[in-house]
Every structure is written in C-alpha cells, then in structure tokens.
Structure 1
C-alpha cells in the first residue's frame, strides 16, 4: 500500500526532526567548548537515556523486569560497547573538525553496514551498490584531505582542528554500523523499548566505574544541558521509527542527509565555520553514493 501524500509529508518531518537531534548530538562536545571529555558526554547521554526510557516504560505500564528479561544479554552488551565506542569517537572527532565534515563522514555508516551485512549476514550486493560504495569512499577521502589542510593552517588555540579527527569519525561510523547489524539481529525477537533499555542501561553501567576516575567537574547549567542529550537521542530514534512506518526508505533517503545541512548551520551560527570546496565536494559524493545505495 502506497502511503498518502499527507503521510509522506509527516514522515519527512519526522526524519528532519531526527536529523536535527543527531546533529546536536554530534555538536555537543564543541558546544561545551571542548571542556567536557567525550567519554563523559557519552556517559551522561546513556544515563539520561536510561532514565528517559524507564519513564516511558512506566508510563506504558510495562514492568522493567519483564523488558530486561531475556537470554541474549551478550548481544546487548556487545551493542552497548559499540555504542559507547562509536559515540565517544564521533563526539571527539566532531569537536576537533568542522561539524559539516564530521556529519558527512558519519554518513559512511551506510557503507560499513553494507559490508558487514555481506560478511556476517551473507547478504548479496550488485555492481551498482559497489560503485555507490566507491563514491562514498572517494567523498570521504576528499573530506579527509581537506581537513588535513585545515589542520595544518589551524589557528584556533581553544579548539584546534586535529588531523586525527577524520579517523575518529571513521571509527565511529564503523562501530555504529556494527551496532546497526546487532539491532537487526536483536529486533527479530525483542521490542524496541527492551533494546533501548538494555543498551542505555548497560552502557551507563560500563562507564559508571570509569567516571569515578575520569569525571571532570561541570558547571550546573552545562550539566543540565548535557542531560538533555539522552532524551534527544531517544527522540531521534523514535522519530526515525515513526517515519519509516509511514513511508518507504528510498523516498525518505534525501531527508536523512539533512543532518549535514543542520551541522553546517550549527557550525556557521555558533562558530562562524563556513564549509570549503573540499567539504561540499566530498559531501556531494557521499550523499550521491548513499542515495544510490538506498535506491538499489
């Protein structure tokens, strides 16, 4: 059944809301002036996310014990490890490079997901998908090259551009792709609420002990703002779920790439960063390759 035009419009708005939420998530480290370590931001995100999902479960009168029951905790734990590593790498990378570039590199998650699906889930790809992946890789190389030039010419002593930031974004995209594969496996038997409770709770537990040593003092207003990251991430995920229930992924694909535009807007308004030719060229290649991947 083809969704009505009204349903498609609503789905597009849900996707735009998710893209904005995740753009703010990537920008969180830069918005704090780089004073809060990325791993601490990730801990705050998952802890506040667990509280948010727990509140949703109680509002729906679903017992937490029942939602947390299950025999696949090793997969939930592996997903939490991927989420923690991917989140820390992505936030740190976005803190030390232009936000639009970071958002574009994060889109390589789709290419990594395709490769992992072939290797682990025995899915098959066609020639057009291989060419699309190549376009995405070329786009990433263009952005990395442009960021290396920017790192050489960096003059911002507070938040310098790092030559390691693109690598951190690539590692973050790969770990996020690993999480996507795990979500696909877990979603066959478990509800979304159960998966959200597990990943947020386990990630908060994993980082809780480390925070006893690594925690940096944060101003109350900044801490309150960071506590909104968890609910914002949950909101973004739920927006995507609602969107894909209303419209096809292929039709919604162009709207998912609006995260680059939102990141560029945040970078321009908050930090006066204007993406250069390399950033736009690389982003165009990645978006073009990604759209071709989804179309195929």
Structure 2
C-alpha cells in the first residue's frame, strides 16, 4: 500500500473520530441547551480558532479586501448558504444526540450522501442511474430501521430520529454547496467565511433564546469549535494525499467511534436492529460515494 495512502487513511480516521466526538459533546452538558445556542457557540469558537491563521496568511488589510472584494461576492454567497446548512446540521444533530442514542443519531445522519446525490442531480445535473436509486433506497431503509419504531414516542418515529434525518438533509445540502466552492477558494478563507457567516446569522436567533450556562457546560460547547476545525483540517490533509473514492470507507468508521463513545460515556448498547440498519446505511452510501465524482471535479460545475 502506498505510503501517502496510509497517511491519508490515518488523517481521515482521525477526522472521523473528531466529528463523532464533537457531536457527542452536547450530550455531556448538565441540562438542555437550545440547539441554536449550541450552534452559535460551536461556530463562534471555530471562528476564533481559524481567524489567527487567516490573518497570518493575508494580514489585516489584505484580509479585509479578501472579504469585501466584488470578485469574491459569488463565493461569499456560497459560503453563507453553506453556513446556513451547517448551522442546521449542528442544531438538528444536537437535538438528535440528546434524545436518542449517539450511534443511532450518527447512523441516520450518514444518509447525507443520499440527499447529496439527489440534490446534485437536481442542481448540478449529475446523472442518477437505477443502481443509484436502489442504493439510496437501501440506505434510507436502513435509516428507517435505525430510527424506529420507538415504543416511548407518541408517534411511530421519535422527534430525535426525525431531527437526525433533518441533519442528514442539511449535511447533504452542505456537501453540494461545497462542490461549488472547494476548488475556487483557500481552506483558510473558506473556514473563516463559513464560521463567520454562521456566527452573524445566529446572533439574532440566540439573542432571543440565550440562557445562562454553568462554566462547565459553556467550556464543553465552546470546545466543539476547535474540535470541528481540527477535524476539517484532517479531512483536507487526507484528500490532499489520496483520491476521494479510496477514502470513502474511512468515513463510516465514525459510526464505530460513535457506538464506542456512546457505550463508554452513556452505557448505550446498540440494538441488533440498529446495527443491521447501520450496515444497510453504510452499504448504500458507500456505493453512492464511490459511484459519483470527487468533490474537486464537481466543484467546477456552475449553478
């Protein structure tokens, strides 16, 4: 196995663990925190983490021009839209992990690939075959198995499972938007614009919902930002060293990490049906991810 591929798999594995760990953190707080407040703290801390690197690369004066230049308006809009999807992903994901087992929430969220392929077919005119449709159906059927039925829920499916599915849709939308901007911007500027846009967009919502938190809870939620930034950096390093298709299997190791974290911290033992559903999700999503173009190739498509 080539040395670069081994390094790339190591970076991707670390990234998968960090994102599983990040989505576990809201579950460690001592009380229910409004999901928009969790999202604000995550993106605010992420913005503060990446800002020094952005200013170090461009300097204050050039940094301002990088943000305000007319030639960057299209990219800025894409980053802002991606930030909206990211906020939705974090908010729905926070609600999901605090209401259903961590591994179940992460398994349902992994159906984001199905939504990414469907949205890419509509907006990027990517071709979807009968095999793609079958793989997507298997993936969604697995999500249904993982999601329910929940005897304790007032309906067939719990609100936590529904939130995880909404997270998957927001996550898939974010992937499609990333395809527009990935090759046209630097990682530092991309991370700065996405995290900064999310903070600004959440200011109004969080001002109405804000609740005072114990220092312990505040530190836990703020730590989501640096963990996410480091996780994104790991993924960038991985995809610099290896093709997307070769790293797709590593993405689903995050489900194993989520199950282990849930078992260690919350004594959550996955049900056999949930394990079977997770296998279906991984199988369908793995096929879709390998069948479709890497992000770098698709990014050149204009809406």
TM-score relative to the length of structure 1: 0.90
CA distance in 1, matches of 2:183, 2:290: 24
Deviations 1:224-274 (A, max 9, x none): 232221111111111111111112222222211011111111111111010
Gaps of 5+ in 1: 153-161
CA distance in 2, matches of 1:76, 1:246: 25
SS at match of 2:127: coil
The answer to whether the Cα contact below 8 Å between 1:68 and 1:197 also exists between their aligned partners in 2 is: no
CA distance in 2, matches of 1:33, 1:9: 40
Match of residue 73 from structure 2: 71
Residue 41 (1) aligns with residue 44 (2): no
Match of residue 290 from structure 2: 295
CA distance in 2, matches of 1:81, 1:39: 11
How far off its partner does 1:120 sit? 0.5
The answer to whether the Cα contact below 8 Å between 2:107 and 2:255 also exists between their aligned partners in 1 is: yes
Match of residue 157 from structure 1: none
How far off its partner does 1:42 sit? 0.6
CA distance in 1, matches of 2:119, 2:213: 38
The answer to whether the Cα contact below 8 Å between 2:54 and 2:189 also exists between their aligned partners in 1 is: no
Residue 240 (1) aligns with residue 235 (2): yes
TM-score relative to the length of structure 2: 0.88
Match of residue 204 from structure 1: 199
CA distance in 2, matches of 1:292, 1:149: 32
2:56 to 56, 59, 62: 59
CA distance in 2, matches of 1:20, 1:89: 20
Structure 1 residues 208-219: aligned runs within 5 Å? 208-219=203-214
Match of residue 91 from structure 2: 88
CA distance in 2, matches of 1:100, 1:108: 13
The answer to whether the Cα contact below 8 Å between 2:25 and 2:220 also exists between their aligned partners in 1 is: no
Gaps of 5+ in 2: 292-303
Residue 22 (1) aligns with residue 24 (2): no
Structure 1 residues 47-196: aligned runs within 5 Å? 47-62=44-59, 63-69=62-68, 70-72=72-74, 73-146=76-149, 148-149=150-151, 151=153, 163-196=158-191
CA distance in 1, matches of 2:93, 2:135: 23
CA distance in 2, matches of 1:249, 1:80: 23
The answer to whether the Cα contact below 8 Å between 2:40 and 2:198 also exists between their aligned partners in 1 is: yes
Change (3 A) 1:33 1:262: farther
CA distance in 1, matches of 2:79, 2:2: 38
SS at match of 1:71: helix
Deviations 1:144-164 (A, max 9, x none): 224x23647xxxxxxxxx811
Deviations 1:121-148 (A, max 9, x none): 00112332222111101101111224x2
Change (3 A) 1:98 1:272: same
SS at match of 2:177: helix
Match of residue 156 from structure 1: none
CA distance in 1, matches of 2:239, 2:97: 27
Give the CA RMSD over aligned residues: 1.8
Answer with 69-78 or 243-252: which moved more. Answer: 69-78
Moved over 6 A (4+): none
